[in-house]
C-alpha cells in the first residue's frame, strides 16, 4: 500500500510546490543506513515534564485528556523541536491511549501511572476487551496532521507501547516492580496469554498505522518491561506479538517503494538486542546499561543503532556529560547508522538548557570529528 501522495516521507522534486520532504533528513537517512551531514539527535520523553512550557499548557488538564486533544497534543509535540532544535519530534501520547480509545477502563494516576478498572487475567476477560476502530483513532490522526503541518522537513516519530508492556499492565491492573502476575499467566495459561498479548499487538498496530498514514515518517515500538523476561521466554511468548506490531506498517511504502523505518527499543540487557532486531526492526534502541560498542558487535555493523547516554548524566557537570557523549558518538560511527539519544527517557527534573546544549554539542561533534 502506498503512503498518501502528500506524505512527508515521499521525495519531492526541487521544482515541486509540495511540502518539504523528510526523506533526506538526518534521522531518516541514519535509520536507513545512509550517511548524513551530522549525527541526528532526539530524546525519548523530550516532550513533557522537563519543559516549563509543557507544564503551562498542561495546567488543569489530565494526562489522557491532553493526549486526546489534537491541538494540545500537537503543541506539546512541537515544543522540544522549537526549544532544543532536535532532529525529530516524537508524537506526544501514552502507551495506553489506544486502549482508552477502544473503551478499556484505564486512567493515568499522577505519581503512579496507568491504572485499570479491573485486571485482565481470564479468557473471558480477554474476550471482553473491545475492538479499536479507525473512527476511534480520529483524534490521533488529527493531532499528527496538525503536527506535521508545522514541522516542515523535520520528521515526526510515531510511538506505541509494545504488547508485553501493555499486557503486563493489564494483568497486574497497574504498575508492578516484577510483573509476577503477568509472567505467571504466561506460564500457567499460555493460550490465554497469547490471546491477550496478540490483542495488545492489534491495539498498538492500529495506533502506529494511524500515525504513519497521517504523516509520521518513522515509528518506535517501546517495551518498558521486556527486561523482566529471559530471552528464551521472550522469543516463545512475546516476540511474535511485537513482530506483529512492527509488521503492521511494513506494507506502507513511499512513491519510490521505500518502507517506513522502524525502531525497536526495550529496557533490556545486551542479550536481548538481537531479539529486538529480529522482531522486524530496521534500527535498535540501546538502553544505558549496555556499551554502544558492545551492542554494535552483537547486532552487526549493518544494523543502525540508537542511543544511549545514561539519563543520569544530564545532571552531571558539562565536561563529564560531553565526554560520555563523545565516547558514544565515536562508537556509533561503526554502525550502519547512529541516532544519538538517551538510554531511556528524559527525567522530569532535567534542566531544559542542558538538553539544548547537548544537541548543539552532538551536531558540532559531527562537524569536527567525522
In sequence order, what DSSP letters do the residues of 69-93 get, joined into one string? Answer: -HHHHHHHHHHHHHHH--S-EE---
Q: What is the pTM of this model?
A: 0.96
Whether 105 and 117 have beta carbons less than 8 Å apart is answered as: yes
Q: Where are the domains of the chain?
A: 26-369
Rounded to whole angstroms, the maximal C-alpha distance in the chain is 62
Whether 164 and 208 have beta carbons less than 8 Å apart is answered as: no
Q: How many CB atoms lie within 10 A of CB 239?
A: 22
pLDDT digits (tens, 9 = 90+) for 52-85: 999 999 999 999 999 999 999 999 999 999 999 9
CA distance 259 to 279: 16
Q: Is residue 370 over pLDDT 80?
A: no
Which residue from 190, 165, 155 is spatially nearest to 20, judged by alpha carbons?
A: 155
CA distance 288 to 266: 11
CA distance 90 to 7: 17
pLDDT digits (tens, 9 = 90+) for 195-221: 999 999 999 999 999 999 999 999 999
In the block, residue with C-alpha cell 519530534? 89
Percent of the chain with pLDDT over 70: 97
Note the pLDDT of residue 178.
Answer: 87
CA distance 236 to 75: 40
CA distance 343 to 270: 13
Provide the pLDDT confidence category of residue 106 given band limits of 50, 70 and 90.
Answer: very high
Q: Is residue 321 over pLDDT 60?
A: yes
At residue 12, φ and ψ (nearest 5 deg) are: -130, 150
pLDDT digits (tens, 9 = 90+) for 265-312: 999 889 999 999 999 999 999 999 999 999 999 999 999 999 999 999
Provide the pLDDT confidence category of residue 18 given band limits of 50, 70 and 90.
Answer: low
Choice among 14-18, 130-134, 147-151, 327-331 with the minimum mean pLDDT? 14-18
Rg (CA), the chain: 19
Mean pLDDT of 14-23: 70
- Return mean pLDDT, the chain: 95
Q: Who contacts 353 (Cβ-Cβ below 8 Å, separation ≥6)?
A: none
Provide the pLDDT confidence category of residue 20 given band limits of 50, 70 and 90.
Answer: confident
Q: Is residue 244 over pLDDT 60?
A: yes
Cross-strand bridge partners of residue 108? 114
Residues tagged active-site: 45, 49, 58, 94, 169
CATH topology for the 26-369 domain: TIM Barrel (3.20.20)
Cross-strand bridge partners of residue 161? 222
Q: Is residue 97 over pLDDT 60?
A: yes
Provide the pLDDT confidence category of residue 17 given band limits of 50, 70 and 90.
Answer: low
pLDDT digits (tens, 9 = 90+) for 121-161: 999 999 999 999 999 999 999 999 999 999 999 999 999 99
pLDDT digits (tens, 9 = 90+) for 175-191: 888 889 999 999 999 99
pLDDT digits (tens, 9 = 90+) for 28-52: 999 999 998 899 999 999 998 899 9
Note the pLDDT of residue 277.
Answer: 97
Whether 339 and 305 have beta carbons less than 8 Å apart is answered as: yes
CA 348 to chain centre: 18
Note the pLDDT of residue 27.
Answer: 98
Percent of the chain with pLDDT over 90: 91
Amino acid at each position: 500500500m502506498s503512503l498518501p501522495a502528500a506524505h512527508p516521507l515521499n521525495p519531492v522534486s526541487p521544482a515541486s510546490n509540495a511540502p518539504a520532504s523528510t526523506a533526506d533528513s538526518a534521522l531518516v537517512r541514519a535509520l536507513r543506513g545512509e550517511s548524513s551531514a551530522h549525527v541526528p539527535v532526539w530524546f525519548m520523553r523530550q516532550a513533557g515534564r522537563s519543559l516549563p512550557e509543557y507544564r503551562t499548557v498542561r495546567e488543569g488538564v489530565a494526562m489522557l485528556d491532553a493526549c486526546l486533544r489534537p491541538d494540545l497534543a500537537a503543541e506539546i509535540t512541537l515544543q522540544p523541536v522549537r526549544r532544543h532544535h532536535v532532529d525529530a519530534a516524537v508524537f506526544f501520547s501514552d502507551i495506553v491511549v489506544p486502549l482508552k480509545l477502544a473503551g478499556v477502563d484505564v486512567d493515568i494516576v499522577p505519581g503512579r501511572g496507568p491504572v485499570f478498572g479491573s485486571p485482565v487475567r481470564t479468557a473471558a476477560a480477554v474476550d471482553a476487551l473491545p475492538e479499536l476502530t479507525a473512527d476511534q483513532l480520529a483524534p490521533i490522526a488529527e493531532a499528527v496532521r496538525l503536527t506535521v503541518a508545522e514541522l516542515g522537513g523535520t520528521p515526526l516519530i510515531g510511538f506505541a507501547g509494545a504488547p508485553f508492556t501493555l499486557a503486563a499492565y493489564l494483568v497486574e491492573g497497574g504498575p508492578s516492580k516484577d510483573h509476577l502476575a503477568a509472567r505467571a499467566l504466561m506460564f500457567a495459561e499460555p493460550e490465554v496469554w497469547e490471546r491477550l498479548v496478540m490483542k495488545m499487538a492489534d491495539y498498538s498496530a492500529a495506533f502506529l498505522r494511524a500515525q504513519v498514514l497521517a504523516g509520521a515518517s518513522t515509528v518506535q515500538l517501546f517495551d518498558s518491561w521486556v527486561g523482566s523476561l529471559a530471552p528464551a521466554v521472550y522469543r516463545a511468548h512475546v516476540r511474535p506479538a511485537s513482530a506483529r506490531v512492527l509488521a503492521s506498517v511494513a506494507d506502507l511504502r513511499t512513491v519510490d517503494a521505500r518502507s517506513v523505518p522502524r525502531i525497536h527499543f526495550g529496557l533490556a540487557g545486551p542479550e536481548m538486542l538481537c531479539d529486538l532486531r529480529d522482531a522486524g526492526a530496521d534500527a535498535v534502541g540501546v538502553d544505558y546499561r549496555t556499551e554502544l560498542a558492545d551492542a554494535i558487535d552483537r547486532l552487526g555493523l549493518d544494523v543502525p543503532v540508537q542511543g544511549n547516554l545514561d539519563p543520569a548524566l544530564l545532571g552531571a557537570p558539562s565536561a563529564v556529560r560531553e565526554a560520555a557523549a563523545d565516547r558514544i558518538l565515536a562508537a556509533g560511527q561503526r554502525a550502519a547508522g547512529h541516532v544519538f539519544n538517551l538510554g531511556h527517557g528524559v527525567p522530569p527534573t532535567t534542566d531544559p538548557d542542558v538538553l539544548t546544549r547537548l544537541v548543539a554539542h552532538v551536531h558540532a561533534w559531527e562537524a569536527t570529528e567525522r
